[in-house]
Amino acid sequence: MNGMIAKKLGLKSIKILQPKKGMLRRLITFAPIDKAEEVRNSLFAAGAGHIGKYAELLSKNDLSAKQKRNVELTQEDYAKNKKYSSEFVRSLSEQVNKAFHSWIDARKKNDFGVYKKDLDVLIQLKKQETDILGYEHHPYNALLDEFEKGATVQLLDKTFADILPSLQEFVKKISGKPQVDDSFLQQHFPKQQQWAWGIELIKKFEF
């Protein structure tokens, strides 16, 4: 499917960046919000979402450390996603979409009030999500794990508490310096040249 989309977009280099044999595959599906549940149910009916024999894979000796970790993370994601109801997924998806557009509108009008109502609704849904997922000690731990596996509010509080004094001193020093000339940030740069420069950086990084 990704290959077909890439061809439609006219992309030239569409090979897999790091092809590996024996790795698990993850399917990510995009669909209109009003069709999301129908697509989800069709995928499940076709066999998607079943954990299969992943647990058995962990006991095999022919898997590399990376492959075993891939299995473990897949199991974690599977267990987490099973906790969501279709109704909640739909409500959250719709509100994320709605909040995004009101945020764009608020930026254009320079008026936070345009965004506030949708943001409040989204925050309440995220609070519901913490209850759905479950957590220890702090609600945000449930959401934090999605971005930083194993991280907790307690860990981050301690980490930043240790570096906060040096950060404050660093900011103080910067604030005391003369304002640098940042006029180049306000200039117009042709879109195609920006794109070409980005591609050149990617090649330099051998990405």
Amino acid at 165: P
Looking at residue 32, its pLDDT comes to 78
Best-predicted range by mean pLDDT (12-21, 41-50, 76-85, 180-189): 180-189
Does 103 or 60 have the greater pLDDT score? 103
Looking at residue 58, its pLDDT comes to 62
Q: Is the pLDDT of residue 89 over 50?
A: yes
Q: Annotate 122-186 with DSSP letters as a single string.
A: HHHHHHHHHHHH--SS-THHHHHHHHSTT--HHHHHHHHHHHHHHHHHHHHHHHTSPPP--GGGG
Is this structure's pTM higher than 0.85?
A: no
Convert the pLDDT of each residue in 96-129 to its tens digit.
Answer: 999 999 999 999 999 999 999 999 999 999 999 9
- Give the span between the Cα atoms of 30 and 9, in whole angstroms: 16
- Give the span between the Cα atoms of 67 and 172, in whole angstroms: 46
Looking at residue 159, its pLDDT comes to 86
- Please give the average per-residue pLDDT across 83-101, as a whole number: 88
Could you state, in order of their start, the residue ranges of all structural domains in the chain? 64-134, 137-174
- Give the span between the Cα atoms of 204 and 56, in whole angstroms: 41
The CA-based angle 200-202-206, given to 5 degrees, is 115
